[in-house]
Amino acid sequence: MTWTEAIVLGIVQGLTEFLPISSSGHMRITSALFFGQDAGASFTAVTQLGTEAAVLLYFAKDIWRISKTWVVGIWDKSARKEFDYKMAWYVIIGSIPIGIIGFAFKDQIRTAARNLWLVSIVLIAFSFVLAFAEYFGRQARNLERFKMPDAVTMGLAQALALIPGVSRSGGTASAGLFLGLTREAALRFSFLLAIPAVVMSGVFSLPDVFDKSGGGLVPSGAQMIVATIIAFGLGYASIAWLLKYVSAHTFYPFVLYRVAVGSIVLALLINGTISAT
């Protein structure tokens, strides 16, 4: 991997991780369009450690309060009535689906699921899911009215994001809107829900990202660090911007963007400009 590739992919990861447009899909497309080969699922997973560090910093007070209340609640029954204690369990239970499915289909996720035909089609198809969620969602509930069935449903939606093109934030936000949550409430829980799954995925992918036996792009340790730091900085800015944006705007611009990108990639595949694998 060249330094240009590492920097560009770090920028793409940071800019797209929290937007409902699929960061893994954009990493795959960017690799194919500009660098001729796939940087790999492991590279994406490790750079996501940078964007998740941005989540930890941005929501540090909330995470500390929720974690502290959960630990206290294990020993003190009175603390179990607090919403923060329940929220901790919502995140834990909601993280189970992606953990199970990700482990069961690890090989397929790293190979067949990264085919650009699939990525482009999924980008377009799930744009309609996001559009329907925006249109039909009542947006009548804030995070204080969140329940365990909501966590399970959004956890299942998060698992769909193992397919590049779906978008983890897009899938969970769509589920949240269908459940009647506001855009901001759906995204806030989506960010918290991502922490266990993405951090574990990134940590377990660290050995694989430097594996030269696969024949793909292999970054140096320095390149991996720089790409992750870039993803962290841009990811933090992206969180702040998106939460402010959704408080007064719809997801429809992202729907149109997804359709446009998916259509362009399909056209390039059809005329043979890029390879699907």
Q: Find out whether 110 and 42 touch, Cβ atoms under 8 Å.
A: yes
pLDDT tens, N- to C-terminus, the chain (277 residues): 899 999 999 999 999 999 999 999 999 999 999 988 888 888 888 899 999 999 999 999 999 999 999 999 999 999 999 999 999 999 999 999 999 999 899 889 888 899 999 999 999 999 999 999 999 999 999 999 999 999 999 999 999 999 999 999 999 999 999 999 999 999 999 999 999 988 888 888 888 777 765 556 788 889 999 999 999 999 999 999 999 999 999 999 999 999 999 999 999 999 999 999 8
Question: Cα separation of 253 and 257, whole Å?
Answer: 6
Give the list of residues 6+ apart from residue 149 with CB closer than 8 angstroms, or none.
none
Q: 15 is written with which tokens?
A: 């800019």
Q: What is the pTM of this model?
A: 0.91
Q: Can you name the residues that pair with 181 across neighbouring β-strands? A: 141
Question: Cα separation of 217 and 209, whole Å?
Answer: 9
Please state, in angstroms and as integers, the Cα–Cα distance from residue 176 to each residue in 22, 140, 170, 245, following that order.
17, 11, 10, 17
Would you call 133 exposed, middle or buried from its count of C-beta atoms within 10 A (0-12, 13-18, 19+)? buried
DSSP H stretches of helix in 137-182: 148-160, 168-178
N residues, the chain: 277
